[in-house]
Chains A and B, each alone.
Chain A
Amino acid sequence: MLDQQRDYVLRTVEERGVRLVRLWFTDVLGNLKSFAISPAELENALEDGMTFDGSSIDGFSRIQEADVLAIPDPDTFEIIPWGEAGAAEARVFCDIHNLDGLPFSGDPRQVLRRNADAARELGYTFFLAPDIEFFYFEPPEKGDKPKPLDNDGFFDLGTRDAAGDLRKQTIRKLEQLGIPVEYSFHEDSPSQQEIDLRHTDALTMADSVMTFRLVVKEVAANQGVHATFMPKPLEGVQGSGMHLHMSLFRGEENAFYDPSDPYNLSPVAKAFMAGLLRHAAEITAITNQTVNSYKRLVPGFEAPVHVSWARNNRSGLIRVPIAKKGNPTATRIEYRSPDPACNPYLAFSVLLAAGMRGVAEGYELPEEADANLFEMDDAALAKLGINQLPQSLADALKVMEGSELVQEALGEHIFEWFLRNKRREWRDYKTHVSQFEMDRYLRSI
């Protein structure tokens, strides 16, 4: 099987005149990393991998051994649809290994592989479909306030719809790269866009999200526009989230579906949700990893603040969308806190681990919270047993630090490195004196 795939890749490179093959992988913070090799090197790379110095990559460095091995996953080989004619380029995602051939514990893709395999051992495949929001701005200078391209609202057609053209071009490129799009539209905020992807298994989807972010930025940059996945770039309007629709399949059967339940939710679905809810605070540093992420998770902007679930209440953390009638495969849950600045490999890993913990230990799903939680005071919420998500990166890190679940899901290496790196980010932020403080205190105190 693997030999056939390698053969296929090598033959395609030859037949299509590919001049450059980009080897892609991801650092711990979710940045796409790439190095290019010539087609002549490819056979060797597919066979034995390419050695490189991991100490230059965020989160890879270890004191003992710096060199690691990038082994291309031939299943992800694609011709890049923006290369020049006659000088085609291709990309392939890599798994990172130690020189002894074992999976490298600092590689987020290997972490997700391990978590997905653990679920597969129990017979489950984890499927995800993200709704990814982002903004188009005029290219910013450092220190500038972002300038939206338009002031249109949700679903607006826009007379001078530059953003619409960008979105169309982006979607065409995504489809060419094997990333099918379900919907796309102008979101609520000025210049905010949303593109919803069709479900795939978790590893494919994490690769797709990495490719997606690059394609969106690339297409925009070609037109002199800056695309950003920053969670909350504009004060006073909605930020950008990455809602995740999730389900578990057992072969052809949706393990979340049960026709006899009033919500069509199976016991597995309920236990999975209970797992997500119980461990939500612990995994939030991973699903929302920037200082800025927590400016999105505030009341009043359709982002979740409380750890709760409901069928049709968008203030909750988990929503259970009503599946189209007679379509059991569409039964799913929507987890609403993550933002598109996360590392998808790590985020999907901790979400799966939290859900599967619920399934393994048969957690009880709490009552549905269908009231508007934003209108309740703390006492009323406490009575319902509803907690808040962490309010800042510092809070989130503190909860994560004590989480045996997150440590196990990420592995020691990434767990430790992530905490160290993000605590430093928080320290840097804490020492910054903001415009808010200037405006508020300088003259009055």
Chain B
Amino acid sequence: MAATGGMLAVYAIPVAPELARVLDLAGYAWKGVTSVDEAAEHEPADGWQGVIVDCTGDPEAAWAFTRTLRKADSAAIKVLVLIGGGQLSDLDLRDELFDDFCLSPFHPSEFEARMRHLLWNTREVMTRADLVEYGELLLNLETYQATISKRPLDLTYMEYELLKFLAQNPGKVFTREMLLSRVWGYEYYGGARTVDVHIRRLRAKLGEEHANLIQTVRSVGYRFGQSRWGT
């Protein structure tokens, strides 16, 4: 069968019985974890082979786990998320957080096929684009530095994260709620107004000539750069 020797981490505890059964039948060694710290603590010597995140229980906590995992582990460990049929929209704009997903309840053979595909190139080193560029704006994701027309921007961490997210998704309109959940994550409870405050600060730091890079879309939210439809 599919087992290739490594160990899988499975979030959350208790692991759903049907999930445990299919993993056992397919011959995977696995361990349930409830937090990234715990995953780090129990990590086997040769590393986790992959991570399965079950989002059908408490989706907010599960996505927070995935986010923390990604941030803690830049070597991009393979992540498969399990979601309910009604949760498909949760995947929007979270592409960087998972490698594949499977709808739950799942068909055991489909789940196994996805696991096989997910893990077939585990040992391959993932590289990610280190630079984000839009017009005069340049973000170096490795050094966390941002420049506009070659001028360095002095940003706080959250301002940087917000600008990065916007610049990676130019032309799309985001509501405040969306920005809050995608940039700040669910661990932040400051309220959507925080987004306005940070946008205003970013505009000020971009300077007058570039402030319109971030546009207010009336009664919706914000858009970075030109609309994809040229309006």
Contacts and interface: CB of A to CB of B under 8 A. Distances in A.
A75 interface: yes
B157 A252 contact: no
A425 to B, nearest CB: 36
Given A16-B152, A74-B157, A198-B200, A1 B68 contact: yes
B124 interface: no
B185 to A, nearest CB: 7
A199 B154 CA distance: 21
Contacts of A120: 189
Contacts of A7: 144
Interface centre among A1, A77, A125, A250 (most CB of B within 10 A): A1
A133 interface: no
Interface string A229-261: 000000000000000000001111000000000
B197 A8 contact: no
Interface stretch (A23-31, A34-42, A174-182, A337-345): A174-182
A12 B145 contact: yes
B7 interface: no
B93 to A, nearest CB: 18
A249 B191 contact: yes
Contacts of A249: 191-193
A204 to B, nearest CB: 7
B187 interface: yes
Contact of B205 (A5, A74, A176): A176
Interface string A115-143: 00000100001010000000000000000
Contact of A251 (B143, B145, B187, B192): B192
A178 B156 contact: yes
Contacts of B131: none
Contacts of B192: 249, 251-252
A199 B177 CA distance: 19
Given A180-B200, A200-B197, A175 B205 contact: yes
Interface in A383-431: none
Contact of B204 (A1, A5, A8, A180): A180
B144 A125 contact: no
A125 B71 CA distance: 27
Contacts of A81: 154
Contacts of A194: none
Interface in B143-172: 143-145, 152, 154, 156-160
Contact of A75 (B156, B193, B204): B156
Given A1-B185, A125-B190, A180-B200, A8 B144 contact: yes
A252 B177 contact: yes
Nearest to A77: B156
B205 A11 contact: no
Q: What is the predominant secondary structure among interface residues of chain B facing chain A?
A: helix
A178 B204 CA distance: 7
Contacts, number: 80
Interface in A93-129: 120, 125, 127
A1 B187 contact: yes
A175 B191 CA distance: 23
Of the candidates B68, B143, B145, B204, the one having the most CB atoms from chain A within 10 angstroms of its own CB is B204
A329 B218 CA distance: 13
B217 interface: no
A11 B144 contact: yes
Contacts of B156: 75-78, 178
A3 B69 CA distance: 12
B204 A12 contact: no
A437 interface: no
A125 B180 CA distance: 15
B194 interface: yes
Interface string B105-141: 0000000000000000000000000000000000000
Contacts of B13: none
A251 B71 contact: no
19 contacts: A1-B68, A1-B71, A1-B185, A4-B71, A5-B157, A8-B144, A11-B143, A16-B154, A76-B156, A78-B156, A125-B193, A125-B194, A178-B156, A180-B197, A180-B200, A180-B204, A199-B197, A201-B197, A204-B197
Interface of B: 68, 71-72, 143-145, 152, 154, 156-160, 176-177, 185, 187, 189-194, 197, 200-201, 204-205
**Shortest beta-carbon contacts, A-B, top 3:** A252-B192, A175-B204, A79-B154
Given A178-B205, A180-B197, A200-B197, 19 more contacts: A1-B68, A5-B157, A8-B157, A8-B160, A9-B157, A11-B145, A15-B145, A75-B158, A76-B156, A78-B154, A81-B154, A125-B194, A176-B204, A178-B156, A180-B204, A198-B197, A201-B197, A204-B197, A252-B177
